[in-house]
Amino acid sequence: MSREDVLVSAAWSEENLSAPGVVFVEVDEDTTAYDGGHIPGAVKIDWRNELQDPVRRDFVDRAGFEKLLSAKGISNDDTVVLYGGNNNWFAAYAYWYFKLYGHDAVKLLDGGRKKWELDGRPLDKEQVERPATSYTAQEQDLAIRAFRDEVVDAIGNKNLVDVRSPDEFSGKLLAPAHLPQEQAQRAGHIPSAINVPWSKAANEDGTFRSNEELAEIYGEAGFDGSRKTIAYCRIGERSSHTWFALHELLGHEDVKNYDGSWTEYGSLVGVPVELGSGKEA
């Protein structure tokens, strides 16, 4: 898989804003960012209210994903270009969702909102509504999703890549510093995990580093390319970005995202937990 299969540039995106069969979708941590200005013609997906099951802790199911994409005017044949703020943090999360439910023609706008704005490209405040479609999703591709029992079994046997900040990894914090310190009973990290903060994969302008740079970053942290891999963070969104770097860019085939991540693992009874800095990239 080449970069062109999974990434598009800001220049390409501006040239294809009105191209048939191309749909731009904004997904941001700050779900109000879209209203302040977005790429012309882009629709919005609210990760908190539209991608999560409203009752149990899980994603929307297959039927829910079909309903969502149908309402957004996305069809099975469309090429979906996802973007957002903060180095495509939540856009990568949505990308992983699309892949989970079998939508192959999905790409990230390399650099996301940051690169778009740095280039001085146009933004629009118009609320975009596309004609509804009848989208059909596939069953979840569990080859890219890890669950807690597999994670426990992976200790010492697979690459466990903790993509949180060094302070979260060491146990000083439960969550990123700008968020409430909650949602897990214990701090620390999964034993045998390496710490490669997700943002190390990005350049200053939000674009992804070169494959050579990425391979060096993960290799220096102790990543073993011959092993199966599970990436995790706090709720699975930052680790989606790392999953993208390892699976989609570097081409490691057996890479899973543990979306339960630390908010699940850090509240489990009887599982091993380590404190301390370990080896950070």
Cite the active site residues: 233
Residue type, 141: D
160, 82, 91, 199: CA torsion to nearest 10:
70
Residue 59 has a CB neighbour count (10 Å cut-off) of 17
270: left (phi over 0), alpha (psi -120 to 50) or beta: left
| Backbone phi and psi for residue 154, each to the nearest 5 degrees, phi listed first | -80, -15
> Nearest-CA neighbor of 150 among 57, 265, 274, 61?
265
Alpha carbons 47 and 32: distance in angstroms, whole number? 11
Q: Report the DSSP beta bridge partners of residue 107.
A: 81
Q: List CB contacts of 216: < 8 A, sequence separation 6 or more.
A: none
Give the largest CA-CA distance in the chain.
Answer: 54
Burial class (CB in 10 A: 0-12, 13-18, 19+), 114: buried
